[in-house]
Amino acid sequence: MTGFCGRARLPVAGFDSAEASEEYDHHQEIARSRYADMLYDHDRNDKYYRGIRAAVARVRARGEKVIVLDIGAGTGLLSMMAVTAGADFCYAVEVFQPTAAAARCIVEKNGFADKIKIINKHSTEVTVGPGEDMETKANVLVTELFDTELIGEGALPSYEHAHRCLVREGCAAVPHRATVYAQLAESELLGSWARLRPIEVEGSRVLPPPAVADCSGVHSVCDIQLSQVSPRSFTALGPVLAMFTVDFSQPVSSAPRSYSSQFVARTGGRAQVVLSWWDLDMDPAGGIVCSVAPSWTYPRPETAPWRDHWMQSVYFLPVEREVAEGENLTLAVRHDDYSLWYGLGSRGRDAILSRPSCTCHAHLAWTRARFGELNDKVRTERYVSALRGVVKEDSVCVGVSDGSLLPVFAHLLGAKKVLSLDSLSMSKRAMEELLEANSLGGRVALPDIRPEQLTCQDLGGEQISLLIGEPYFCTSLLPWHSLYFWYCRSALADLLRPDAVIFPRSAALHVVVVEFRDLWRIRAPCVTCEGFDVTPMDEMIQKSMDLRESHEAEPHPLWEYPCRALSPSAAVVTFDFTRRVPRRPVVSRGSLALVRSGRCHGVAAWLEYRLSPDVTVSEGLIRPVDERGRCEWSRHRKQGVYFFPSAFESAGDGGDAAVFYEIKFEPASGDITMDFNIESG
């Protein structure tokens, strides 16, 4: 990319720069595994311990020797609970080698090596018999194989095999059963994540193509912290329904199966989404319940346990439709061995339960947050108002973003010639369908070329007078990956008129020191848990962080994770898109004063784009921080989070306490690295 203006291939948005060693990959997985979150989930741990004690007691009361099989053993915590509860022996099965190695250390360190055997295999590969992995079948089955969707980690096939090959008939199971709940709802917010809505611009109506409007979408679950979706953001059209129950103490089938529940609509509205969660009965009597229900279902929401390893689910109905108050409805769910999907029926008609499958390409190319971004009327108006000031009758406009409507807006505002460059073929195909549906196919060109391949011939012998971008790229993870737009601008430098307008003009990296209400748990040290020493796992998590995150941030949608600002937000680096990408690194140093008391967990970072002298768009904070430090974050993009190696207290008393930073942008790779140091007066 010498000079950033030649025809050399540009880096992809996302900037691949990770180490490729096997050790790095293993520790990368550990860092992302949320073991710290699970070990800090005291509600989960307490319910499991109580359930295990009860199961061991039931088997002991039958006069049997207690042999436990722990599938998905992780750190070995549940196995140690079982032995502490009186089990004679425990087989702990963990397929992931680094975690199995840590579990061996933890079990040995806690004095359980003679009663717990770590088996580093998938449970379906475990053998039983003299000299085999297990000497005998187990009569207590303990598992933690669940994800947000309950069955998404392969729980059903694992249970099916375990009952057939690894446990005795009539075994005690912890958990004993699981129940999946669902509620039909109307929600403009959640519904905007699944379908493109009509958009009004300059008196014209941009319609979604039929292929997108009628598409059932993808079947993958939308897992979110549903507790952060206010009940004011949706209307419940029916009661919470118990859709189906799985009894883990009996043989389990992984074969596809359907369930349905009938109810009467409590109010009229548009059926758009199904909100779903589950709970676990740890004992047969149902007296020990571990629930994943959102906080607003609790009489006292503040008492709801927080978790990130288990969240809640939103499912989008294949077809939205109006329902009337008092209407008899049937909500149906179907599952295969790994996923669920829902359908709605009424008046004796069965719900359609064919697996959702995207046929329009848009749902495969764009994230659900991207659909929400395209449907955001306020955001659209900000872009259109800024474009009005730069689009002229003789404008030769080139758009560089994925799945962007800005080139369409530029045409509607009167640009003479408009080209749109999409980096992803599926996204480009979806945009072609949108242009065709709005009779714009010959007015906005979508050449199948990369920015550095564009020539004067593609522009009809003219030069670019207006280069536009949101910027958005499908492969971006961190906020600054969208700086790919800057590289594209540099590659197109020779095709720009001397007076060409670059839109946006610049981007600024903003940072703020924050105290998280809950997110800190995913990176917290976990030296002990429920009386068991898990230091080896803590050391592995820390090593993972040292390898992957010592100078890097990680992406999180902070609207799902409440936090308080302990410092003012500050723009620490500005990227001037009117100039080419510099050859040398850009380094920014400074400090963030700690003006509020609280526990400093890390730094949040995001980009704000200046579209015009008067219009900016933030991908982070969308309103100024209030007096108490509360933050309101954009729902459309993920922000970057840099976690401090250890949290520290801020007095916020106006003293000299501050966080000093060094931010470095490397033009050769597009990476941004961050170093923070804390000094207290």
What is the DSSP secondary structure assignment for residue 249, as one 8-state letter?
T
pLDDT at position 214: 87
**3-state DSSP assignment of residue 161:** helix
The Cα-based distances of 269 to 186, 230, 332, 344, 376 in angstroms read 6, 18, 19, 14, 21
At CA 463, angle to CA 461 and CA 469, rounded to 5?
Answer: 130
Using 50, 70 and 90 to split pLDDT, how confident is the model at 551?
Answer: low
Question: What's the average model confidence in pLDDT over 340-363?
Answer: 82
What is the rounded distance in angstroms from the CA atom of residue 114 to the CA atom of residue 92? 13
Instruction: Note whether 343 and 390 are same-domain residues.
Output: no
- Residue percentage of the chain with pLDDT more than 70: 90
Got the DSSP string for 620-642?
Answer: SBSS---TT-B--B-SSSPEEEE
pLDDT at position 220: 84
Task: Give the active site residue among 64, 108, 153, 666.
Answer: 153
Task: Judge whether residue 134 has pLDDT over 50.
Answer: yes
Pairing between β-strand 671-679 and β-strand 658-666 as defined by DSSP bridges: antiparallel
What is the rounded distance in angstroms from the CA atom of residue 289 to the CA atom of residue 277? 14
pLDDT at position 39: 79
Predicted confidence (pLDDT) per residue in 160-174, tens digit: 999 999 999 999 999
**3-state DSSP assignment of residue 230:** coil
Question: What's the average model confidence in pLDDT over 113-121?
Answer: 97
Predicted confidence (pLDDT) per residue in 404-439, tens digit: 999 999 999 999 999 999 989 999 999 999 999 999
Using 50, 70 and 90 to split pLDDT, how confident is the model at 679?
Answer: confident
pLDDT at position 137: 98
At 531, which CATH number?
2.70.160.11
pLDDT at position 27: 44
Point out the domain boundary residue: 503, 532, 565: 503
Instruction: Note whether 328 and 230 are same-domain residues.
Output: yes
What is the DSSP secondary structure assignment for residue 302, as one 8-state letter?
G
Task: Judge whether residue 18 has pLDDT over 50.
Answer: no
Is 163 inside a domain boundary?
A: no
Question: What's the average model confidence in pLDDT over 14-27?
Answer: 43
What is the DSSP secondary structure assignment for residue 351, as one 8-state letter?
P
Is 7 inside a domain boundary?
A: no
The number of domains in the chain is: 4
Point out the domain boundary residue: 360, 391, 406: 360
| CB atoms near residue 214 (< 10 Å) | 13
Instruction: Note whether 527 and 668 are same-domain residues.
Output: yes
pLDDT at position 8: 36
**Helix, strand, coil: what percent of the chain each, to 5?**
25, 30, 40
Question: What's the average model confidence in pLDDT over 137-151?
Answer: 96
**3-state DSSP assignment of residue 75:** coil
Instruction: Note whether 258 and 397 are same-domain residues.
Output: no
Is 675 inside a domain boundary?
A: yes
Task: Copy the structure tokens of residue 486.
Answer: 């800057």
Using 50, 70 and 90 to split pLDDT, how confident is the model at 537?
Answer: low
Is 10 inside a domain boundary?
A: no
Residue range(s) defining the domain that contains residue 191: 178-360
Is 392 inside a domain boundary?
A: yes
The pLDDT mean for the chain works out to 90
Instruction: Note whether 418 and 565 are same-domain residues.
Output: no
Is 194 inside a domain boundary?
A: yes
Task: Copy the structure tokens of residue 346.
Answer: 């009424």
Q: Does residue 202 carry a catalytic annotation? A: no
What is the rounded distance in angstroms from the CA atom of residue 465 to the CA atom of residue 463? 6
Q: Does residue 153 carry a catalytic annotation? A: yes
Instruction: Note whether 212 and 298 are same-domain residues.
Output: yes
What is the rounded distance in angstroms from the CA atom of residue 585 to the CA atom of residue 626? 35
Is 258 inside a domain boundary?
A: yes
Predicted confidence (pLDDT) per residue in 201-250, tens digit: 988 999 999 988 889 888 888 999 999 999 999 999 999 999 999 999 99
Instruction: Note whether 413 and 427 are same-domain residues.
Output: yes
Task: Give the active site residue among 144, 373, 549, 608.
Answer: 144
Question: What's the average model confidence in pLDDT over 511-535?
Answer: 81
Task: Judge whether residue 34 has pLDDT over 80.
Answer: no
Predicted confidence (pLDDT) per residue in 301-317, tens digit: 999 999 999 999 999 99
Instruction: Note whether 481 and 615 are same-domain residues.
Output: no
At 105, which CATH number?
3.40.50.150
CB within 8 A of 465, min separation 6: which ones? 392, 394, 395, 396, 397, 497, 499, 500, 501
Predicted confidence (pLDDT) per residue in 569-601, tens digit: 999 999 999 999 999 999 999 999 999 999 999
48: phi then psi, degrees, rounded to nearest 5: -65, -45
The per-residue b/e assignment along 405-438, b for 16 or more CB within 10 angstroms, e otherwise, is bbbbbbbbbebebbbbbbbbebbbbbbbbbbebb
Using 50, 70 and 90 to split pLDDT, how confident is the model at 542?
Answer: low
Check residues 202 and 6 and name the one with the higher pLDDT: 202
pLDDT at position 606: 98
Instruction: Note whether 571 and 458 are same-domain residues.
Output: no
Beta bridge partners of 677: 660
Instruction: Note whether 432 and 356 are same-domain residues.
Output: no
What is the DSSP secondary structure assignment for residue 494, as one 8-state letter?
G
Instruction: Note whether 71 and 201 are same-domain residues.
Output: no
Point out the domain boundary residue: 447, 478, 503: 503
Instruction: Note whether 404 and 420 are same-domain residues.
Output: yes
Is 6 inside a domain boundary?
A: no
Reported pTM: 0.91
pLDDT at position 22: 45
pLDDT at position 219: 81
Choose the weakest-confidence range: 267-281, 362-376, 516-530, 583-597. Answer: 516-530
Using 50, 70 and 90 to split pLDDT, how confident is the model at 494?
Answer: very high
Question: What's the average model confidence in pLDDT over 431-458?
Answer: 93
